[in-house]
Structure 1
Amino acid sequence: MACCLKDELLCSICLSIYQDPVSFGCEHYFCRKCITEHWSRQELHGTRDCPECRRTFADPHLSPSLKLSNIVERYSAFPLDAILNAQRSSYPCKDHEKVKLFCLTDKSLVCFFCDEPALHEQHQVTTIDEAFEEIQREMKEQLATLQDSEKGHTEALQLLQRQLTETKMIGVAHETVSRKGSIQIQPSRGFYCIVMHDGNQYSACTEPWTRLNVKSKLEKVGVYLDYHKGLLIFYNADDMSWLYTYRENSPAKVFPYFSPGQSHANGKNVQPLRINTVRL
């Protein structure tokens, strides 16, 4: 169990326990320093990849993993090596070998016949077998947490990738929005849009998404912007029915934003996106 958990906590670059673990778009983790140095060596080639799966990224964003950091911290605090050594080694007092005690605080064997009792008076002392079983149980729980976290991370990534390829995310965007890497279509990121997703479902890209009450497939979507009043209105241009309204005064310039997405026809769009202007 100890070896299994430790293997899960090793950075594949430095082969040591994670230091400030981060991820950046795939299900693999690395020390922040290790992956940064790895990418610095790739700058001449103009690409950045994952040393595990070799997936390339144009402008990856390093996201810290708080849960993994906590697991690493808990593992580092385990006195496991000291307990294993205590089980294999001889006791400090040959006359009192039956007194199998271990001080979790000092990470050392204890013999109350030979040691000064005051040395461990306020310490956490238990039998060696109980200490080993308790720590092994905690490590098993930590390993399960790590595996669940990795599974959740992978599922979230797959959902994001599916949303990016199956949605058609129309609206406006600030001139300062990020144009590289994985883009999150949210008002806090400077995007004000509605999307078609999962077939014929429609939502406004709020945080979280707001499902739109659309009874039939949208063929034409109208976008009305009153910049000075901070109004952005989406409507069905076929019957002029209202879809959604964003209300926010933007200090920056905004521009039209379109994303045709991809269908399931070998990654190509079956129907093209057509842009029509309205004369007022």
Structure 2
Amino acid sequence: MNVRQNTRLSAVLFTGQTERRSLLWVSFSSDILEKKSTMAAAAAVPSSVRGSLREDLTCAICCDLFRDPVMLSCMHHFCKSCISRYWRGTQGPVTCPQCRKEFTSKQFHTNYIVTAMVEKVRVATSDASIKKLEKQLSEALERHHLRKEYIDNCIHKDKEKMDIIKRVAADLRDRVKGEFRALHQILQDEETCMLEQLRREQEEELQKVQRHLEASELSVRELENNIRLLQQANGSLTEFPQLSRPCVQVETDTDFDVNAFSSRYLAPLQYITWRKMFHSVKPGPSPLVFDVETAHPSIYISRDKTVAVECDDMILHTSHSQRFLQCVNILAVQSFQSGRHYWEVEVGHSLKWDVGVASEAVDRRARIKLSPESGYWTLRLRKGNEYWAGTQPWTRLQVGSPPQRIGVYLDCDERRVSFYDADDMRLLYTFSNGPRGRALPFFSPCISDDRHRPQPIRLLHYPPVALSA
């Protein structure tokens, strides 16, 4: 240990000559050392600093860490055994091995703080300590690698999700544009047709007036010519002058009926066009009717087959293999296997009902839970305010205001069944694993209790109306 390092360490550690002050320093230093983990301290301190500390705690005689370090009056430290061996056999004054200062007697003081520090450094630099530290570092490194791998996977998944969102949004954007392009085309065609009709009617009216105008002008010219002949004959009247030709007969012109001409184009054109659009809207509202052959005996069907209601008395229907016998269900006559279809059902203020789609092959003679696994994709109401999607188990829906009309949208190609509040087209629920093959609209007015009157289910029709051109 050089003089500068030993002096620096001694100046920090030296506490005076009294035993009480030394003991206080020892107690204080031990508390601090116990509060800090040796491994954590060794890992936190740079290797260059740890090397300098080890050098400061190295005996200048044996060149190893102090063992039972003692301090001379010159404040240099040595191992107790080393300084004792160094002074052995010396008679009279002794000297410091480093600074050569002489002492009249062989006196030194035990420094407990340095002893504690030496033990900590020895433990921290031992093979077992290093292996333990290396193990901790290896485990920490592995944890960080695993954490980084997890975050890298999250980043990769997020980027994939962003790509999916962009791709799906682009497809949906093209689809929306296509749908509205079709509507724009319908409106464009209607506008072109109506403007062409207006042009033709205008041309017809102008031609009528033009023919009358030409006849009138010809008649005026002939009359003027006759007048001139008559005037010339007036001076030498011997005989009645020979007129060029009889006057052209001009029919009395009828007044132009502005109201009749304008009425077609002052009509509610938007409403008329909206009605015509039912011919071309895809999917347009399907005009469904109930299939009496599938109705449970407790269901009454109206004569036009658009209203179904549960009744108390069993109706004697003819026996049919397609009839529901266990549950109060009924199907529509129409069935769908491809394309997109939409229909609306008025449920009114009924307290319970089931509406949806059923596969053609469902078992109609057994009591089966309404679920996609059984061939049913339904929306249901129970207790007047509980709306459920017919999954297995059921999915409770937060609907808000009770819908009076339910819109059902079936996309056979995409295998989707969606339900809407038909008043504001608010989506209620979508099945993404819809039916394969042929499917039919499904309905159930359910069995009412004795306290409430049965409420009907009504199929709403928006038939295309043929409007004259």
Q: How does the TM-score come out when normalised to structure 2? A: 0.23
Larger Rg: 2
Which one has a larger percent helix, Structure 1 or Structure 2? 2
Structure number with higher strand proportion = 1
- Which structure has more relative contact order (CA 8 Å, sep 6+)? It is 1
TM-score normalised by the chain length of structure 1 = 0.38
